[in-house]
Chain A
Amino acid sequence: MTCVEARGLRKVFKTTPALDGIDLRIEEGRILGLIGPNGAGKTTALNAILGLTPFEGELRVLGQDPWAAREQLMREVSFIADVAVLPRWIRVSDLLDYMGGVHPRFDRAKAEGFLAKTTIKRESKVRHLSKGMVAQLHLAMVMAIDARLLVLDEPTLGLDILYRKQFYDSLLNDYFDGTRTIIITTHQVDEIEDVLTDLIFIDRGRIVLECSMEQFEGRYLEVMVNPEELPAARALKPIHERPVFGRSVLLYKGVSRDELAPLGETRRPSIADVFVAVMGQQNPEARQ
C-alpha cells in the first residue's frame, strides 16, 4: 500500500520554486529520512503532505488529497513540527482531555503510560516545562494516536543529547510497528542514520538522491587511503575526497568492495558524508 504518492509536485513562492516538480512514492511501513540543506524545500514538501499549503501537481496521502481533506487526513496522520508548537498556556491534564475529546484514534491510557515514564506533572502548564519535557509531552501525545503516517519536521531541534537519544529510542521501541510510516527531516543526520529504511536527498526543490538504506549501502563505499595509493585510488573516480590526519578518505559510488579493498580500509560511509559529496556535485560552484 502506498502511503504518499506525488507526481510533478510543485510549489512556487512568488518567483522562486520551493518544490520544482517532485515525483515521489513512499510505501507504508517505511521510515524515510528527508535530508537537504536549508531552503531545499523539505518543510514545503512536508507542509504539502500535511495539507498545510496548496500546491501544483498531483499528491495523494493515504489515498486523499491533503489540501482538500486536511481534517479527514489528520485522523490518520500525526505531525510534530518542532518542540515549540504546543500551546504554552495549556495544562497537561487539559491537553489529555482535549486530545481525547477531538481525536478518534487517541488512546488516553497509552498517553498516560508514556507520561508516567517522565517527570512531567499533570497539573503543569506547558510554559513551565523544559524544552526537553515539552518534546516528551508532544511525543507522548503523538505516540498515543494510532496513526498510519507520522511526520517529524526537525523534532529534536534545540534538545540536548540525552533527550534526542531518548526521543528516537521511544519512537522505535514504543511506536514503530512495521506498518506505520514515518517521515523525518533533520539536520542531525547521524542520529537517524540507524533508524531509517529509506533516504531522500532534496536540493533546491528537486530530489537528487532516492534510495533504500540497503541500496545506499550497496552503492556507496568509503576507503581510507594511504598517500602512496592515492593516484591508483583517484583513477577509480571517487565522488568525493577529504583529508583525515595525513591520509585521505575517498568516497565511491558504484565501485565494488573487491576493487577498493586493496587500496585501504573500506567502510560504509555515513549519510552525512554522502550528503556532502552529492551536494558538492549538485552545485560545484558553491564548494570550491
Chain B
Amino acid sequence: MSAQPETANKHVRPFYWSVRRELWENRSLYLAPLIVAGVIVIGFMFSAIGLAERRQAVLLLNDPLKTRTAIEMPYSMAAMMIMFTTFIVAVFYCLDALHGERRERSILFWKSLPVSDFTTVLSKAVVAFVVIPAITFAVVIITDLMIFLISSIVLLVHGMSPATTLIHTHYFLNIVLFLYGIVVLTLWHVPTYAWMLLVSGWARRAAFLWALLPWIAIMFFERITFGTYYFYSFIKYRFGSPAMTAFNFPDPKHPCLDSLSQLTLGRYLTAPGVWIGLAVGVAFLGIAIRMRRYRGPM
C-alpha cells in the first residue's frame, strides 16, 4: 500500500455536526416558538395597559389560590402556547426527518460521507428528545421573564410594587416544576416520537397517515370484532398518564402544584410504563437505523 498522506482533519465530530445540520435544515424548530413567544409578549404589552387596576382587584380577593391563579395566568398561558407550538413542530420534524432526505435525493450525498446510519438517526432522535425540549424550556423561561419585566414596569409606573407578583406566586419554584414537567413528558413520549421517526424512514409518502392510521385501525378492529376497548384505553393511558405518576395532586379535581414535595420522581421512575415505553422507543430507533441502510432516494 502506498503511504497515505496525513489526514487533513484530525478532530472530526460527526455527531455534533449532524445535530447542527438538523438545525440548519429545520429552522422552524426554534423560529416557530420564538415567533409565538414574540406574539405573546406583544399581546401582553397591549393587555398590560389595564394591568394595574386588575392587579389591585386581584389582590383584594381573599382566596390566595385565586389570587395566585389570576397572577400566574399570563405565565401559564404563554407556557402552554409555546409548548403546543413545539409539540406541533416536533411532530412535523419527526415525520419528515428520514423522509425529506429520500424525497430530495440528498440521502445519496449524506451517504457518500463517513457518517454512519447510527449517527444520523441518533442525531435526529437527539433533536427530538433533547434539543426541542431544551428550546421549549428556554423560550418559555425567556417569555415568562419578559412578561414579568413588562408587568413590573407597568406596576411601578402606576405606583404599585412589582413584588406582589413574587409574593403571591411561586415564580422560581415554577421554573423548577416546569423543567421537571418537560423532562417527565419527554421521557414518557420517547416511543411516540421514535415511532414517527421510524415511519418517516419507512413510508414512501403520507408519513403522517401511516403514523396515525394503524392505531386507529386497530382500535376500530377491536371494537367491531370483540366489542372491547382495551386498545383504546392503552392509547389513552399512553397519552394521558405521565402527569398522574410524576406528580402528586392531593385534590385531583383541582390539580395545583405548590411544592417540590409534590414531585414524585420515584413513583414515576418505578412505573413500568416509563421503562417499557423507553425500551419500545429504543427498539423503534434500532429498526430505523437498520432500515436507513437499505434506503435510497425515492
Contact = CB atoms under 8 A, between A and B. Distances in A.
A107 B8 CA distance: 5
B163 interface: no
A74 interface: yes
Interface string B132-157: 00000000000000000000000000
Q: Which of A28, A78, A97, A104 has the most CB of B within 10 A?
A: A104
Contacts of B61: none
Interface string A102-130: 11111110000000000000000000000
A102 B114 contact: yes
B8 A1 contact: no
Nearest to A81: B108
Interface string B1-12: 110010111101
Interface string B92-116: 0000000001001110110111111
A106 B9 contact: yes
Contacts of B296: 47, 52-53
A85 B8 contact: no
Interface stretch (B13-21, B76-84, B203-211, B228-236): B13-21
A105 B24 contact: no
Given A85-B108, A101-B16, A74 B114 contact: yes
B112 A79 contact: yes
Given A89-B25, A91-B24, A101 B13 contact: yes
Interface in A84-106: 84-91, 94, 97-106
A103 B114 contact: yes
Contacts of A53: 294, 296
Interface residues of A, number: 42
Q: Which of A74, A79, A103, A108 has the most CB of B within 10 A?
A: A103
B108 A79 contact: yes
Nearest to A141: B109
A262 interface: no
Given A74-B112, A74-B114, 5 more contacts: A1-B2, A50-B111, A87-B104, A102-B115, A104-B8
Given A104-B7, A105-B8, A71 B109 contact: no
Contacts of A75: 114
Given A89-B24, A98-B21, A179-B2, A84 B113 contact: no
A98 B110 CA distance: 11
Contacts of A104: 7-10, 12, 114
A102 B25 contact: no
Given A54-B294, A94-B24, A87 B14 contact: no
A81 B115 contact: no
A97 B20 CA distance: 10
B8 A102 contact: no
B116 A71 contact: yes
B2 A102 contact: no
A81 B105 CA distance: 10
Interface of A: 1, 28, 47, 50-54, 70-72, 74-75, 77-81, 84-91, 94, 97-108, 138, 146, 179
Q: Which of B25, B104, B109, B112 has the most CB of A within 10 A?
A: B112
A85 B24 contact: no
B12 A146 contact: no
Contacts of B293: 70
A81 B1 contact: no
Question: How many B residues touch the partner, as a band?
Answer: 20 to 34
A107 B25 CA distance: 24
Nearest to A79: B112
B114 A88 contact: no
A87 B226 CA distance: 49
B7 A105 contact: yes
A74 B120 CA distance: 15
Contacts of A107: 8
B113 A88 contact: no
Nearest to B109: A85
A84 B104 CA distance: 8
Nearest to B7: A104
Contacts of A84: 105
Q: Which of B8, B12, B106, B294 has the most CB of A within 10 A?
A: B8
B25 to A, nearest CB: 5
A1 B1 contact: yes
B105 to A, nearest CB: 5
B113 A85 contact: no
Given A84-B105, A85-B106, A103 B25 contact: no
Contact of A102 (B111, B113, B297): B113
Contacts of B12: 101-104
Contacts of A85: 105-106, 108-109, 297
A1 B2 CA distance: 9
B9 A105 contact: yes
Nearest to A77: B112
Nearest to A88: B104
Contact of B112 (A50, A90, A179): A50
A4 to B, nearest CB: 15
Contacts of B108: 52, 79, 81, 85
B7 A87 contact: no
Contacts of B16: 101
A225 B96 CA distance: 62
B9 A103 contact: yes
B199 to A, nearest CB: 21
